[in-house]
Structure 1
Amino acid sequence: MLSTGEEGTRLGSLSQIEDGGFAEAEATLDGDAESLILHRDGDHVRAWLNICPHAGRRLDWAPGQFLKSRDGHLVCAVHGATFETTDGLCIAGPCRGESLRPVAVEVQDGEVVLTPEPPPTP
């Protein structure tokens, strides 16, 4: 389980993320500045560290710009690893079977905020 930063830290507004889309946010986790991937699914948001498990590089092709497959999966811009948006599992590419590292977030009054522990698996 990944520890998170200070509970309640605001990461952005839900309205700034297109439904089904991705956004990047910065947060301090375990004392380190980290880039996060946020994925909106209706009124819910999931978050992961912006680090591909294959080579340890960021997944975005430019800051905050993520590739999405025709099926809506997140695609690593470097080596093409493809991740499910429900759980961060790599379903294609060089790190198949590995997962992105989740970060606990929730939506409170229209704002995406850090929470103390990862959300339950749907």
Structure 2
Amino acid sequence: MDPSAPLCRLDDIDDGGAIAVQVDSSTGGFELILLRQGERVFAYHNECPHAGRRLDYAPGRFLVSDGRLVCAAHGATFRVVDGACLGGPCSNGLAGLPVEVVDGSVRLR
């Protein structure tokens, strides 16, 4: 995994929305959810801590509203800015990774 390689362009993510990106690694890689609020982007593993299922309702499509991400499988709700569990069947928050926006590109920090 090359941390300097861009994950996507900021403009690829609708403001208030989310996309999925694949991150390659020596262990086979993983998928991240990138959520945008204005000029800020937040990244979490696409895995619900409740049951280990993906959070999207269709590949790369997420339920995001009012700064909250909802797990499509069981309805657990997470705060976009920190991944904290706000309700539903979850005892832990989402596993996040630090990202930054550099010259319009979203990159791992």
TM-score, normalised by the number of residues in structure 2: 0.92
Counterpart of 1:91 in structure 2 is: 86
Counterpart of 1:14 in structure 2 is: 10
Match of 2:62 among 52, 62, 66: 66
Amino acid at match of 1:50: N
Match of 2:40 among 31, 44, 66: 44
Q: CA deviation at 1:21?
A: 0.8
Aligned alpha-carbon RMSD (Å): 1.3
State the secondary structure of the residue aligned to 2:16.
coil
Q: What count of residue pairs does the alignment treat as equivalent? A: 109
Match of 2:50 among 35, 47, 54: 54
* Structure 2 residues without counterparts, runs of 5 or longer: none
Superposed CA deviations along residues 5-38 of structure 1, whole A, max 9, x for unmatched, are: 4321211110111111111111025633111000
Match of 1:77 among 57, 72, 76: 72
State the secondary structure of the residue aligned to 2:29.
strand
Amino acid at match of 1:23: I
**Distance in structure 2 (CA, Å) of the matches to 1:9 and 1:104:** 14
Q: CA deviation at 1:44?
A: 1.3
Amino acid at match of 1:79: H
Superposed CA deviations along residues 68-110 of structure 1, whole A, max 9, x for unmatched, are: 24x33100000000000110011110104x1100112111110
**Which runs of structure 1 show a deviation greater than 4 angstroms over 4 or more consecutive aligned residues?**
none
**Distance in structure 1 (CA, Å) of the matches to 2:52 and 2:79:** 18
% identical aligned pairs: 50
State the secondary structure of the residue aligned to 2:11.
helix
